[in-house]
Amino acid sequence: MIQISPQEIESAANVLRARINFPLQVGIVLGSGLSDMAERAEKSVAVPYAAIPGFPQSTVEGHVGRFVGGFIEEASVLMMQGRVHYYEGYAMQQVSFGIRLMAALGVRTLILTNAAGAVNMGYKPGDFMLIQDHINFMSANPLIGKHHAEWGERFVDQSETYTGELLNRARGVGKALGIPLREGVYAGLTGPTYETPAEIRMLRTLGADACGMSTVPEAIVARQCGMRVLGISVITNMGAGIAAPLHHSEVVEIAEKRKIDFQNFLFGIIRSINAE
């Protein structure tokens, strides 16, 4: 089992501190097809994942693979322009490395974004879904292994993994911008295969509204680190058995079509957070 130590996190954090030398307010993980938002940051500094000791490398189309620090709506942000996934062969602690790194750099508010498949039959591709809760179907947990007290509690309360106050802010921004929002439960699965029609029916029966291959381990670690968490899914396809056969290019295509609305939505949320 691959384990990440506090010393490894601090070593990686020092590399970023040397390049991004301003306090950070908001962390953002940009999912499949959503990376372009990082290009709109002002006074930005980009640091490739490859330049950070021990940091895993993203291998998936639509994931650039770098940190971008800068300013959006006058708030200082640190964005992960792409993430790594469990299905790429990384251990859970590697998948959540970036979140621990953000915490070490002082980030206390985290926005997790992803491209997701619809389980809820009332959804359609292009919808935005605020994540109210999640179900971990990954059969693994990033907190398994040696416990480091400086990272937080071992037994993390997940009664409110996704912060209600941030959900309220997102609702208000969506209303102000005229962007309809779905709200539901995200099911995290390992991938890399898409779910079978039977699995989609199972997920629907168990209360999931959307599913994907990320986000859950990041949210768990963020809560252990004491971060406020907001999760947003872009629904890029209908689950298996609901519509046509699935392909990753469809995921990227739908995310591309909605990227300006999505970026404006995130800008509004960041503006609201900065006004606190």
Q: Would the annotation count 63 as a binding residue?
A: yes
Point out the catalytic residue in the list 12, 32, 86, 134: 32
Q: Would the annotation count 134 as a binding residue?
A: no
Point out the catalytic residue in the list 8, 44, 51, 87: 87
Active site residue 85: yes
Q: Would the annotation count 237 as a binding residue?
A: yes
Q: Would the annotation count 85 as a binding residue?
A: yes
Point out the catalytic residue in the list 13, 49, 58, 63: 63
Point out the catalytic residue in the list 120, 214, 233, 272: 214
Question: How big is the chain, counted in residues?
Answer: 276
Contact criterion met (CB below 8 Å) for 202 and 123: no
Q: Would the annotation count 214 as a binding residue?
A: yes
Active site residue 248: yes
Point out the catalytic residue in the list 115, 170, 210, 222: 115
Point out the catalytic residue in the list 79, 116, 213, 240: 213
Point out the catalytic residue in the list 35, 76, 120, 237: 237
Q: Would the annotation count 5 as a binding residue?
A: no
Instruction: Output the six-digit token pair for 276.
Output: 């606190």
Active site residue 213: yes
Active site residue 87: yes
Q: Residue 224: what are its φ and ψ, rounded to 5°?
A: -60, -35
Q: Would the annotation count 47 as a binding residue?
A: no
Active site residue 88: yes
Contacts of 169 by beta carbon, 8 Å cutoff, 6+ apart: 230, 269, 272, 273
Point out the catalytic residue in the list 136, 148, 202, 248: 248
Point out the catalytic residue in the list 58, 76, 79, 88: 88
Cα three-residue angle 95-168-103, rounded to 5 degrees = 30
* Residue numbering of the annotated binding site for a purine D-ribonucleoside: 195, 237
* Residue numbering of the annotated binding site for phosphate: 32, 63, 83-85, 115, 214
Q: Which residues are known to be catalytic?
A: 32, 63, 85, 87-88, 115, 213-214, 237, 248
* Residue numbering of the annotated binding site: 32, 63, 83-85, 115, 195, 214, 237
